[in-house]
Chain A
Amino acid sequence: MPQKEENKTAFIGFWQGLLDDWMAVLTRPNIETYIRLKERATSPKIVLNLALLGLVIGLYVLTIQPPAFIQTDSLLLDLGRLIFYTEADFFILSLILFVIAGLLGGTGGFVEHSYLLSLITAPLGLVIVAFLFVANKLGLTLAAIMNPLSSIGITTIFIVLFGLYAFLLLLFALEAAHEMESHQVIYTIGAVLGSWGILRVIAMFAAGEDNIITQESAFLAEEWARGTLQQAILGHLWMVAFSVFIAVVIGVVMGVLITMPPKRPSVSHLFFLIPLGVFFLIWAAPKGWLGMGIADPIMEISDTLDIGLTRAAKGFFGPLLSLLSAIVRKPAAVGMIGVILTVILYALLLAGESASELTLYIAGIILTIPSIALFGVFIGPFSIGAFNAVVALTLYAQLPILRNTYTGIKEVKPEIVEAGRGMGMTEFQLLRNVKIPIATPVIMAGVRVSVVMLVGIAAIASYIGNDTLGDYIFHGIQRVQPLRYYAGAITVAVFALSMDYFLGWLQNRLTPEGLKGRR
């Protein structure tokens, strides 16, 4: 009698324990919970968790959607088979995850690992089945539910949130089971998904399936073979590289100027009259303001250069030469920009730090102008084409650089500057040997932001007539060819990512050794 009593309590205790674990997972989803639950892992509990899920799935499948593959007429046998499938699927998946986690440095045992996974799978699985059950009763198809434009499309949000929640739980479970770092867990899941994806794509091509992925890659291959893709990539690359180069020069100079103390005008500043005069001449002469005698030779030089550059514009440097020719073709515009820039730089030289707030404020405002609008505004003075694009892109790109140069230099510790000054460095030596090297990582971060931003904006520049990857997007939209605009979007994204990666490497290279180990 007491024996039986004891068994009964043990039985109740077992179920209570299992229920407790479920509740713990669902209500307190954090690492500590999982680490605690790990201690209570036993094989029977795993099997039971999955059996429960399998049972519910079985009931759902058999009552709601009796599928064709159920052949036996014994309900119990079918149920048993479905439970078995559920268990088997779970253990296979769990094993794959376990092996990959082990390869990536996981240390947990298979039972603990599987138990934690089953604690997620079972309750969440039940929720999904319940959801499907309700949807089925209401006569909804999966397509309708997932369509964000349909009336019940709002469910999509919940489904996405639910998926994220499940993913988070999976992260916790793996982290707890294997005592891994978060990034190792991400790699593990990534490896599983990645290898599945690769296998799937291989299978797709092997079977000669006709779907969006195969079609898109065929389209890209075709464009590549015709050479148009390379041309667009090169055009894009040079557009970005040229604008960023100018932007770095202007942005760094301006950023430095607004960290310096204000200056009084002095005789040596007359030097500024040289660029001012030259640019003014280039501006005014072609307009005929100074008489035809000066206008003609300048236009002649401009034409000669343009013709030479256009003729030479082939191969890898082709797009760059085209850009340059677009610039020499507009001497008046170059002169005007030169005059404005000279005046701004001199004003900043005099105002120094007292202009920093205003400058950064204006820079911030310009950044908020939509690029399409800016291109549009510049059509007036510069008409359409590469010149307009370069001006707009340069304007955008130098803002993050300007801002980061300013902050980078301002962040140099005052005692370091004082020590340098106290040892007899001139202001220029301080800047070149101390402030700028120490600010380099911050400045480079600004360049990185600029470049990635420009890769995107350069695509839009195709709207005012430039050969960039944006062509694919705009033409695709005009001609209603999804393959074409997907191609543009994909290549631009890959372009931006690889530029970011390259600049990250460059940033690391340019950071002075002594600044690297410090935190």
Chain B
Amino acid sequence: MIKLEHVTKIYPGTTSPAVDDLSFTVPTGEICTIVGPSGCGKTTTMKMVNRLIEPTDGEIYVLNERGEMQNVLEMDPIILRRNIGYVIQQIGLFPHRTILQNMGTVPKLLEWDNTRIRSRAEELLDMMNMPHEFLDRYPHELSGGQRQRIGVARAMASDPPVMLMDEPFGAIDPINRNLLQNEFLRLQQEIKKTILFVTHDIDEAIKMGDKIAILNANGQLEQYDSPAKILSEPANEFIEDFVGADRTLKQLNLIRVEEVMDKKPFLLQSTQSVEEALQVMDEEGQDYAYVVDSDRRLQGYVSRKDLKEKSGWIDEYTTTAATSLPITMNLRDALSEMLMVDYSTICVVDNRDRVRGTVNTAMVQEALMETHSSGKREEV
């Protein structure tokens, strides 16, 4: 847990606060994204938590490993920082040190022995899906994306309960950024850190945050809420503008296909005869049907037209399906996939390619209407 109470920062020589009377609480194990226009005080807010910047006023508390709330302003900043993971946009890997030494920075400061540091580093590389050979490389021998992963891994080295991340994926190309975001979200499922995550990109804030804190240009908190709430019930005009006119569409980001799909779709077995298939299709009133094998793995689809006046087994007449959607995909991505193919219903498959349901645009629309009217998507 991270708790800010009436935190204000006025830089020396300035009169207007860079951060103005900020209060919010990040529950343990959640990611809170801080978002706002450039220069609104996001970095300042974050750096006050590990006291790279001293607040002018207010209190900041952090829950430590022993479950005690600690007032960071009363702690030794050096000790405090060693217990808070810290990732910055420019990464700041030490160029003269190997990846192992880089990742071992905090453990070394905490006086771990070398074998423990090494095994921890290997563990971290495993978490990041990177080979152990990287341990003896130097930062300049890695790509930008790899370096950023190492930057994140380095911050997690001593397994601190709290992490601060300042635009960690900001300097990475969009494709890799998406990849890193997904990887990090998956990782967070396991490590459950309490994270303050600064970004200037509202889409990233929505995607990464369990909670979002939106600041205005004067460093004041405009709204602190879950992404769904912020999208469905923007507190004021500023938030509405900041989130953008497409906020309804953005809400699709928060829903996964799994939640809206038809979980009992009409399917044919590839071992069925044509006659039998035609009969079932007549009964159900379907012109098309997806075909699966005995393991429910997707084989393709058949149309009534193709089967008409034929005989034998339907797998002879099965056409391969152009697309299927992974079950974890969000609705926004799913919708754009659906709009690109010309069949109305698409199969949803799990990671072993087994059909778990089907989805069509009508279902997406229905889901949207629902969130809009209730405004409380968490309860869906």
A438 CA to B92 CA, complexed, in Å: 13
Stretch touching chain B among A1-9, A193-201, A418-426, A475-483? A418-426
* Contact assessment for A426 and B94 in the assembled complex, using a CB-CB cutoff below 8 Å: no
* Contact assessment for B52 and A416 in the assembled complex, using a CB-CB cutoff below 8 Å: no
Knowing A415-B90, A418-B52, A513-B138 are in contact, say whether A423-B109 is a contact too (CB < 8 A): yes
* 7 further contact pairs, Cβ within 8 A, besides A425-B105, A518-B95: A413-B92, A419-B88, A422-B86, A423-B109, A424-B79, A513-B96, A514-B96
- List B contacts of A423 (CB < 8 A): 81-82, 86, 105-106, 109, 154-155
Q: Which of A422, A424, A514 contacts B88 (CB 8 A)?
A: A422
- Contact surface of A with B, Cβ cutoff 8 Å: 413, 415-426, 429, 434, 437-438, 512-515, 517-518
- List A contacts of B98 (CB < 8 A): 514
A220 CA to B95 CA, complexed, in Å: 49
Of the A-B pairs whose beta carbons lie under 8 Å apart in the complex, a sample of 21, sorted by A's number, is: A419-B86, A420-B94, A421-B52, A422-B50, A422-B52, A422-B81, A422-B88, A423-B81, A423-B86, A424-B78, A424-B80, A424-B81, A425-B78, A425-B105, A429-B109, A438-B94, A512-B96, A513-B96, A514-B94, A514-B140, A518-B140
A415 CA to B167 CA, complexed, in Å: 13
* Contact assessment for A515 and B95 in the assembled complex, using a CB-CB cutoff below 8 Å: yes
Give the interface size bracket for B toward A: 20 to 34
- Check if B91 is an interface residue, CB within 8 A of chain A: yes
A417 CA to B93 CA, complexed, in Å: 10
Q: Which of B82, B93, B109, B140 contacts A419 (CB 8 A)?
A: B93
- Shortest Cβ distance from A425 into chain B, in angstroms? 7
Select the residue from B50, B96, B138 with max chain A CB neighbours within 10 A.
B96
Knowing A425-B109, A517-B140 are in contact, say whether A416-B81 is a contact too (CB < 8 A): no
- Shortest Cβ distance from A284 into chain B, in angstroms? 41
A290 CA to B95 CA, complexed, in Å: 55
| Chain B residue nearest to A421 in the complex (CB) | B52
Q: Which chain B residues (271-305) contact chain A, with CB distance < 8 Å?
A: none
A426 CA to B105 CA, complexed, in Å: 12
- Check if B97 is an interface residue, CB within 8 A of chain A: yes
- List B contacts of A413 (CB < 8 A): 90, 92
* Contact assessment for B52 and A438 in the assembled complex, using a CB-CB cutoff below 8 Å: no
Knowing A419-B91, A514-B140 are in contact, say whether A438-B96 is a contact too (CB < 8 A): yes
- List A contacts of B105 (CB < 8 A): 420, 423, 425
- List B contacts of A429 (CB < 8 A): 109
Of all A-B residue pairs in the complex, the 8 with the closest CB atoms, nearest first, are A419-B92, A424-B82, A512-B96, A424-B81, A514-B138, A415-B90, A422-B86, A415-B92
Fill in one digit per residue for B43-57: 1 if any A CB lies within 8 Å of its CB, else 0. 000000010100000
Q: Which of A415, A416, A421, A424 contacts B106 (CB 8 A)?
A: A424
- Shortest Cβ distance from B99 into chain A, in angstroms? 10
- List A contacts of B106 (CB < 8 A): 423-424
- Shortest Cβ distance from B285 into chain A, in angstroms? 64
- List B contacts of A512 (CB < 8 A): 96-97
- Shortest Cβ distance from A415 into chain B, in angstroms? 4
Q: Which of A421, A424, A434, A518 contacts B94 (CB 8 A)?
A: A434
- List A contacts of B227 (CB < 8 A): none
Fill in one digit per residue for B95-124: 1 if any A CB lies within 8 Å of its CB, else 0. 111100000011001000000000000000
- Shortest Cβ distance from B272 into chain A, in angstroms? 62
- List B contacts of A419 (CB < 8 A): 86, 88, 91-94
